[in-house]
C-alpha cells in the first residue's frame, strides 16, 4: 500500500500516518520529491486502506500494486544514486556511467596488482575479483578465500579503487564486508532469501545479479528483500539468461535494461562477460548496454586469459579493455552521460538524490 500525502501536510501529519500504520503491525518508508510525499506501507493488509484514507494529510491510498513496493517507481520516482566511494566514477544511477573491471577470480598477488593498475589507468572506477567462487564443478578452482580478500584490500590501497567481490555464503558475510566496498550476490544466489536478508542488514552497497532463469519480477522481488531489511543501496545487474542458443554462454537480455529502468528507481548495470562467455563480443554487448540506458558495466579482465583459473574464454586482456573504454566513451556521451567526470563539475555540486529519494526506516 502506498499512501500519498498532500504536499502541504506537515511533519506531524506524516508522523501520525506512520504511527497508525506501525501500530497496526505495518512498516513505513517515506519518499519525497519537490512536489510529492509518499509513504510505502509494507506488512499491512488492504483492509486498513479505508481507515488510513481518513487520516489528516492523506491525499489518496494506492493498493494492489506490485510486491516490490520499495524497489518500485510507483513509490520512489527519483533515481537512487548508489555511491561505492568518493570518486564520482564509483557512483551508480546518476549522470555518470560506472565501470567495474578485474579478474573473475583473484589468483594471486602479481596478477591482481597488475590488472588493477591496468584497468585503473584505462579509466575503470572499481575493481572486481572473486574470492569465494560459485563453480558448477566441485573440482574446479573455488577461489583463494580470505587470502584473496586481503589482496583486494591491498589493491584498493594501491589504486584508490573500491573493490567488488561476491558473498557466497551467509557465514562469510562479516569477513567479506570487512574487506570489500560492494557485496556481490551472484546469479546462483539471487533467490537465497536468508542471504538477501543478511546483506540487507549491512550498510554496504549490494550488487545483485539476475539469476540465469529468473524473471525481471523475481529480480525485483530479490531486491525488495534487501531493501526491506534496511539497505537501500542496491545495484541490479543483468548478466544474461538461459536460452536455447549455444552460440553464447547466456543470452544478454538487453530489453531488461529499459524495462527495469521504468519499473525501479535502482541503478541497473550489465555484465557482458558472463552473458557472452566469449571475449570477442564483450565490446559489442557493452556498447549495446550503454546505448540501452544501463548505468554501468562489470567486465572480466585477466592479464593472460589463456591461463586463467576461471572464465578465461570470456576475459578481456588489459589491452582490449583499454580499447573498449575508448570506443565506449562516445556511446556513453551520445546518451547524455559521462565516463570520466567532467572536470568542471565539483563533487559536492552533485546532489545526493538518494537522500531526497527514499528515507531509511525510522
Ligand atoms: C562472477 O561475477 O564471476 C560470477 C560468478 O557471476 P554470475 O554470478 O553472474 O555467474
Ligand atoms: Mn566469472
Residue 341 has a pLDDT of 75
Q: How far is the CA of 37 from the centre of ligand 2 (A)?
A: 42
Please calculate the CA angle 285-187-146 and round it to the nearest 5 degrees. 110
- Closest atom of ligand 1 to 209 CA is 9
Question: What DSSP string runs through 19-34?
Answer: HHHHHTT-EEEEEE-S
Q: How far is the CA of 104 from the centre of ligand 2 (A)?
A: 4
Pocket around ligand 1 at a 6 A CB cut-off: 104, 130, 134, 186-188, 209, 239, 271, 274
Looking at the CA of residue 133, tell me the nearest atom of ligand 1: 5
Each of the 362 residues of the chain gets a pLDDT tens digit; together they read 999 999 888 899 999 999 999 999 999 999 998 888 999 999 998 999 999 999 999 999 999 999 999 999 999 999 999 999 999 999 999 999 999 999 999 999 999 999 999 999 999 999 999 999 999 999 999 999 999 999 999 999 999 999 999 999 999 999 999 999 999 999 999 999 999 999 999 999 999 999 999 999 999 999 999 999 999 999 999 999 999 999 999 999 999 999 999 999 999 999 999 999 999 999 999 999 999 999 999 999 999 999 999 999 999 999 999 999 999 999 999 999 999 876 655 455 554 444 444 554 43
Taking the CA of 187 as reference, the closest ligand is 1
- Distances in whole angstroms, Cα of residue 129 to Cα of each of 183, 219, 310: 11, 23, 11
Please identify, by atom number, the ligand 1 atom nearest to the C-alpha of residue 237. Answer: 9
Ligand 1: which residue has its CA nearest to atom 6? 186
Q: Backbone dihedral region of 357: left (phi > 0), alpha (psi from -120 to 50 degrees) or beta?
A: alpha
Q: Which of 115, 209, 210, 285 to mutate to test ligand 1, by most ligand atoms within 8 A of the CB atom?
A: 209
Quote the pLDDT of residue 362: 38
The whole-angstrom separation of Cα 221 and Cα 79 is 18
DSSP three-state, residue 307: helix
Centre of ligand 1 from the C-alpha of residue 9, in Å:
47
**Which grid coordinates belong to 346?**
565539483
What is this structure's pTM? 0.94
- Nearest-CA residue for ligand 1 atom 1 is 104
Torsion angle of the four alpha carbons 357, 91, 199, 107, in this order, in degrees rounded to the nearest 10:
170
**Kind and range of the H or E run holding 192:** none
> Helix (H, G, I), strand (E, B), or coil: what is residue 186?
coil
- pLDDT of res. 181: 98
State the ligand closest to the CA atom of 136: 1
Residue with CA at minimum distance from ligand 1 atom 10? 187
3-state secondary structure of 230: coil
The vertex-308 CA angle with 152 and 144, nearest 5°, equals 40
What is the structure's pLDDT at 348? 53
Distance CA 211, CA 182 (A): 19
Q: What is the CATH number of domain 2-62?
A: 3.30.70
- Break the chain into its structural domains and give their ranges: 2-62, 82-334
CA of 209 to the centre of ligand 1 (A): 8
Distance 129 CA to ligand 2 centre (A): 9
Q: Give the ligand whose atoms come closest to the C-alpha of residue 312.
A: 2
Pick the CATH number of 82-334 from 3.40.190.10, 3.30.2010.10, 3.50.30.30, 3.20.20.70: 3.20.20.70
Amino acid at each position: 500500500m502506498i499512501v500519498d500525502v498532500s504536499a502541504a501536510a506537515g511533519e506531524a501529519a506524516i508522523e501520525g500516518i506512520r504511527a497508525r500504520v506501525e501500530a497496526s503491525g505495518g512498516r513505513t518508508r517515506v519518499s519525497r520529491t519537490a512536489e510529492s510525499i509518499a509513504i510505502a506501507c509494507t506488512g499491512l493488509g488492504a483492509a486498513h486502506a479505508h481507515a488510513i484514507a481518513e487520516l489528516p494529510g492523506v491525499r489518496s491510498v494506492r493498493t494492489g500494486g506490485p510486491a516490490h513496493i520499495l524497489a518500485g517507481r510507483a513509490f520512489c520516482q527519483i533515481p537512487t544514486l548508489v555511491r561505492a566511494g568518493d570518486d564520482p566514477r564509483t557512483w551508480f544511477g546518476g549522470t555518470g556511467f560506472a565501470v567495474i573491471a578485474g579478474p573473475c577470480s583473484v589468483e594471486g598477488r602479481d596478477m591482481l596488482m597488475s590488472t588493477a593498475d591496468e584497468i585503473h589507468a584505462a579509466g575503470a572506477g572499481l575493481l572486481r575479483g572473486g574470492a569465494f567462487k560459485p563453480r558448477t564443478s566441485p573440482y574446479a578452482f573455488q577461489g583463494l578465500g580470505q587470502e584473496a580478500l586481503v589482496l583486494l584490500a591491498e589493491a584498493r590501497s594501491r589504486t584508490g579503487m573500491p573493490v567488488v567481490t561476491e558473498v557466497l555464503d551467509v557465514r562469510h558475510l562479516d569477513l567479506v564486508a570487512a574487506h570489500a566496498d560492494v557485496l556481490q550476490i551472484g546469479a546462483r544466489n539471487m533467490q537465497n532469501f536468508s542471504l538477501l536478508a543478511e546483506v540487507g542488514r549491512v550498510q554496504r552497497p549490494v550488487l545483485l545479479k539476475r539469476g540465469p532463469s529468473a524473471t525481471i519480477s523475481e529480480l525485483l522481488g530479490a531486491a525488495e528483500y534487501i531493501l526491506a531489511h534496511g539497505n537501500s543501496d542496491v545495484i541490479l545487474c543483468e548478466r544474461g539468461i538461459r536460452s536455447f542458443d549455444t552460440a553464447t554462454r547466456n543470452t544478454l537480455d538487453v530489453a531488461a535494461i529499459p524495462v527495469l529502468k521504468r519499473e525501479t528507481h535502482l541503478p541497473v548495470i550489465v555484465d557482458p562477460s558472463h552473458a557472452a562467455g566469449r571475449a570477442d563480443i564483450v565490446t559489442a554487448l557493452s556498447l549495446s548496454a550503454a546505448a540501452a540506458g544501463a548505468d554501468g558495466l562489470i567486465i572480466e579482465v585477466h592479464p593472460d586469459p589463456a591461463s586463467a583459473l576461471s572464465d578465461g574464454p570470456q576475459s578481456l586482456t588489459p589491452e582490449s579493455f583499454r580499447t573498449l573504454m575508448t570506443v565506449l566513451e562516445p556511446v556513453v556521451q551520445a546518451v547524455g552521460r559521462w565516463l570520466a567526470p567532467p572536470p568542471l563539475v565539483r563533487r559536492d555540486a552533485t546532489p545526493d538524490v538518494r537522500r531526497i529519494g527514499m528515507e531509511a526506516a525510522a
